[in-house]
Structure 1
């Protein structure tokens, strides 16, 4: 896996060969798009072009909690993937993914929602990923049934 300039939440499942915030070649801004134009040191052409790399640092990727990134996923710079989302194997994520959305394809497109709006709202209020290890361990049996989990832990008015 290759991860650069990314914030990754808790309890994420990241499969093999995932790339998060990969670099791009200067396709439209330079006469040559080869690495030698910005990775100059590697080719004996002087110091690397730090300004070229700055945009990636400024375009951080944000991945929520309990996100599943399948095998071979690429998440492009500046993308946010919400809590509980699923990204299918081989997908290239070029746009933000809302919480609890399942996306797949090149470019990644919405396939379906994991849950109804009410269930998503309840899970966002419960925020179980912020529980301590002891709390999760003590409540492990509750994770087996979604509806009873929400009834038990959603404290909304």
Structure 2
């Protein structure tokens, strides 16, 4: 695994503070003008992403934060909101519980298409066409 530069190490430490890539880049000493782009580039590097994950794991361990502890705290907040008759706070806490449990993750749907012999032949014909031929075919289709 490649070693991170001192500036990249600083970025990792700063990113762990608030997970704001552009702000972390600026605090780490990168140019403010290109901070957003630099942060994006840094966060796509596997070694840097691994360092961020390791830093976050260290912080969670130091704070003794676990998924279960967070859930317990949120459920406690729900009960406190119920006792105070604060429906907005209850909804907010339940929303966070749902998010933590993965209920708001998008459904992944995989769609498959089966082509008959005629469809497969047409697909092969289209794949064999040049860009110019495809562009001309699109022009014909848009004129209809």
TM-score w.r.t. the length of structure 1 is 0.21
- Structure number with greater CO (CA < 8 Å, separation at least 6) is 1
Which protein shows a greater Rg? 2
Which structure's residues are more often helix, by fraction? 2
